[in-house]
């Protein structure tokens, strides 16, 4: 393997993952405290407006993805989505699907990533919201990350059957429990459950192109252990940026290369050069689809 890139070849734009805030209405045991809690204040709307204005001046058109925490709990989320939609090429939100399907349908969002989490009593409600959304004949693209907690595999498998029955595309995600999120603790799974998880490829359409000829979903690159790019040249910072909940900006969710400044404080400067990967594993689906090439 010598090259990975986005299947749509979005090198003429910048993908920004923006953690809108730490506040979340769930408390998943595997989600690090540095990116979620249920008490942090919501990010000030004026900071967000200025940041949207700033990213609209970058050197390429913007594909923006709001994450969290849970972005939909921000009290001004509808205004934020309208403002962002006006100044970006493409708008995504990653959400736990705890709002009604009709609400998601009404927002000026091009694409949703719904994440289903099972260590709570709201999972069935979230699944029903996704199914409701799927029936609205929306032109919006979407798929579901099924977060396959080892203690709830019966419910995970039942949920997958429901998604397939309603023709909802999904990707199965094993859980990372390590603080660094670099690897999986597969010993937590029963062997038959782990075999089932690994054998089932994503039904969501492929978003990565390997060596100019093989199309695959980013989650399956992780699953097949093809996510080792240490020493490769990567377009993180040129094709992507990541805004942390506190306004610190990094090249990607991996944070390789350190901070680029703080967009809320006016100190962020856009990078122009590729970077050499220093991570043993590329663990975020948003980062894997960035263009990267082996220099060996």
pLDDT in tens, 120-146: 999 999 999 999 999 997 789 999 999
Closest CA to 189 of 176, 201, 178: 176
Distance (Å, whole) CA 164 – CA 158? 10
Distance (Å, whole) CA 139 – CA 200? 27
Is 184 a residue whose pLDDT tops 80?
A: no
Q: Is 196 exposed, middle or buried (0-12, 13-18, 19+ CB in 10 A)?
A: middle
**What pLDDT band is residue 283 in, cutting at 50, 70 and 90?**
confident
Closest CA to 51 of 3, 11, 83, 14: 83
Record: fold of 3-293: TIM Barrel (3.20.20)
- The pLDDT score that the predictor gives to residue 178 is 63
**Cα angle: 6, vertex 95, 7; to 5 degrees:** 10
**How much is the average pLDDT of 276-286?**
91
- The pLDDT score that the predictor gives to residue 179 is 57
Give the global pTM.
Answer: 0.93
Which residue has 């699907």 as its token pair? 97
**What pLDDT band is residue 31 in, cutting at 50, 70 and 90?**
confident
> pLDDT tens, 51-96?
999 999 999 999 999 999 999 999 999 999 999 999 999 999 999 9
> DSSP 3-state assignment of 91?
strand
Q: How many CA atoms lie within 13 A of 295 on its CB side?
A: 12
**How much is the average pLDDT of 28-46?**
90
Q: What is the DSSP letter of 43?
A: P
Q: Starting at the edge strand that comes first in sequence, how are the strands of the sheet with 275-276 ordered?
A: 214-216, 208-210, 3-6, 292-293, 233-234, 275-276
- The pLDDT score that the predictor gives to residue 32 is 85
**How much is the average pLDDT of 6-12?**
83
Is 168 a residue whose pLDDT tops 80?
A: yes
- The pLDDT score that the predictor gives to residue 183 is 57
Distance (Å, whole) CA 118 – CA 120? 5
- The pLDDT score that the predictor gives to residue 180 is 54
Domain layout of the chain by residue ranges = 3-293
**How much is the average pLDDT of 181-206?**
86
**What pLDDT band is residue 182 in, cutting at 50, 70 and 90?**
low
**How much is the average pLDDT of 222-236?**
93
- The pLDDT score that the predictor gives to residue 177 is 80
């Amino acid at each position: 393997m010598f090259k990975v890139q986005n299947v749509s070849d979005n090198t003429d734009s910048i993908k920004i993952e923006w953690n809108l805030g730490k506040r979340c209405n769930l408390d998943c045991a595997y989600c690090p405290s540095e990116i979620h809690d249920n008490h942090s204040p919501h990010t000030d709307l004026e900071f967000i407006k200025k940041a949207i204005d700033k990213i609209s001046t970058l050197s390429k058109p913007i594909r923006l993805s709001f994450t969290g925490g849970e972005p939909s709990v921000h009290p001004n989320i509808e205004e934020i989505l309208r403002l962002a939609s006006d100044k970006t090429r493409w708008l995504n939100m990653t959400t736990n699907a705890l709002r009604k399907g009709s609400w998601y349908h009404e927002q000026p969002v091009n694409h949703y990533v719904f994440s289903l989490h099972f260590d709570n009593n709201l999972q069935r409600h979230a699944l029903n919201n996704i199914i409701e959304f799927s029936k609205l004949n929306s032109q919006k693209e979407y798929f579901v990350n099924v977060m396959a907690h080892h203690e709830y595999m019966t419910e995970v498998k039942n949920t997958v059957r429901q998604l397939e029955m309603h023709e909802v595309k999904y990707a199965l995600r094993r859980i990372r429990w390590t603080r660094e999120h670099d690897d999986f603790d597969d010993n937590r799974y029963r062997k038959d459950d782990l075999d089932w998880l690994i054998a089932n490829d994503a039904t969501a359409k492929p978003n990565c192109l390997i060596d100019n000829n093989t199309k695959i979903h980013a989650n399956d690159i992780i699953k097949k252990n093809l996510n080792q790019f240490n020493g490769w040249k990567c377009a993180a910072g040129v094709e992507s940026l990541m805004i942390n909940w506190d306004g610190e900006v990094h090249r990607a969710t991996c944070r390789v290369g350190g901070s680029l400044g703080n967009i809320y404080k006016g100190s962020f400067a856009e990078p122009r050069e590729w970077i050499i990967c220093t991570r043993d594993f590329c663990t975020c689906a948003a980062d894997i689809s960035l263009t990267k090439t082996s220099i060996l």
